[in-house]
Copies of this chain bind each other. A is one copy, B any other.
């Protein structure tokens, strides 16, 4: 009889163990699924003050007339950029947005490694922030091999991809119909990491003799891009 009890206890143990394994595996799956981030932001963004994102210690300090405490596509976008703790690789056609420039400068002053790759023509136009970033000591390279370096993506800590139709301009954020995808899906992130590396190496100024990165190489008017 005690033998039968032993068998019964062992059986119950096995069932219990199986159920535990199943539960643990379900929890792990949940955690893994929950970890994959896929967010879509659409623009134009509502107008709202973003001062509190830059100065979270004094969130009510800003007296500007814009609405305060409103979460918008742009504030989400800004937070994602500012979430960088080790690196920000930025590959963007046009960069003139002052808030985004401020964000990149803030990351730089926190010690985040910044690399900026941009279009050679747009780097030199009025309002471009590339010169501002360079003056602050941020390494920026211009694409010299193509008609347009038309990417608009950022890689945060080599882990998070932020990409879409949105150039880093005020018009794009406030007036255009645009989209931005934020994802940490490795199948999407990894190809962009490789692409950034390829373009970064390819556009190393040491590789070409005449420094044409501040001057438009094409003077023709190109409207379709």
Q: In the assembled complex, which residues on chain B have CB atoms less than 8 Å from the CB atom of A94?
A: 224-225
Interface of A is mostly: mixed
Q: In the assembled complex, which residues on chain B have CB atoms less than 8 Å from the CB atom of A138?
A: none
CB neighbors of B among A72-116 (8 A): 93-94, 96
CB neighbors of B among A38-56 (8 A): 38-40, 42, 44
Q: How far is the CB of A165 from chain B (nearest CB, A)?
A: 5
Asked whether, in the complex, the Cβ of A192 is within 8 Å of the Cβ of B40, the reply is yes
Asked whether, in the complex, the Cβ of B224 is within 8 Å of the Cβ of A188, the reply is no
Asked whether, in the complex, the Cβ of B191 is within 8 Å of the Cβ of A177, the reply is no
Q: How many copies does the complex hold?
A: 2
A195 to B177, CA, bound (A): 10
Chain A 19-53 interface 0/1 with B at a Cβ cutoff of 8 Å (1 = within): 10110010001000000001110101000000000
Q: How far is the CB of A30 from chain B (nearest CB, A)?
A: 12
Q: In the assembled complex, which residues on chain B have CB atoms less than 8 Å from the CB atom of A44?
A: 146
> Which chain B residue has the least Cβ–Cβ distance from A127?
B224
A residues at B contact (CB < 8 Å): 3-4, 7-8, 10-11, 14-15, 18-19, 21-22, 25, 29, 38-40, 42, 44, 93-94, 96, 122, 125, 127, 143, 145-153, 163-167, 169, 171-172, 175-179, 181, 183, 185, 187-188, 191-192, 195, 199, 222-225
